[in-house]
Every structure is written in C-alpha cells, then in structure tokens.
C-alpha cells in the first residue's frame, strides 16, 4: 500500500473528523467513563488491529486512550490508517 499524497490525506481526514494529523500520523484521544471501560476499549482496538494486521501506538491514562496510526513501512499515512481509524471510531458507538 503506497503512501498518500497531501491532497489524498486532506480528503481522507474528512472521513475521520475526530482525528488530527500530527506529522506522518493521525491521532485521536478517546475518553471513556472509567479505567475499566478504557481497558475494554483497548482490548477491542487490539482485536480490530490484529484482524487488520495493522497496529496503532496506544497510550492509556486512566480513562483516556490515545491512538496513533501511521504506516511505518511506507513512511507515512496510507489508506490502511484511515480504514482502521474508522473502525476504531465505531467501537465507541
């Protein structure tokens, strides 16, 4: 999967409006009701990531889970990042 152009990234960002671009990655912090729910969410993220064979960097702080996606093998953002971001967004609904 090839790295997206700046124009393609702009279009793709509109599909995941809660995410922010930070350099060669997209990032979102999810706020959950408590630590237990944050861990349940993190486990669901792990399962979705394994199924997609594409894994985010994860930071957990009590009820906040921050996910960072980038396709390291391509040196930036690809369609895989945006597809997985959309799946992660659905986990909170």
Q: What b-and-e string marks burial along 50-76, b requiring 16 or more CB atoms within 10 Å of the CB?
A: eeeebebeeeeeebebebbbbbeeeeb
By C-alpha distance, which of 79, 92, 93 is closest to 26? 79
47-88 pLDDT tens trace: 999 999 999 999 999 999 999 999 999 999 999 999 999 999
Give residue limits of the domains in the chain.
19-90
| Residue 1 pLDDT exceeds 80 | no
Q: Which CATH class is domain 19-90?
A: alpha beta
CB 27 within 8 A of CB 66: yes
Mean pLDDT taken over the chain: 96
């Amino acid at each position: 999967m090839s790295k997206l152009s700046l124009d393609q990234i702009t279009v793709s960002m509109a599909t995941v409006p809660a995410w922010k671009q930070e350099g060669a990655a997209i990032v979102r912090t999810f706020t959950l009701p408590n630590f237990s729910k944050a861990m349940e969410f993190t486990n669901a993220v792990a399962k979705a990531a394994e199924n997609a064979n594409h894994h985010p960097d994860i930071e957990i702080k009590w009820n906040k889970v921050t996910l960072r996606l980038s396709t390291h093998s391509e040196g930036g953002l690809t369609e895989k990042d945006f597809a997985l971001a959309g799946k992660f967004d659905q986990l909170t609904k």
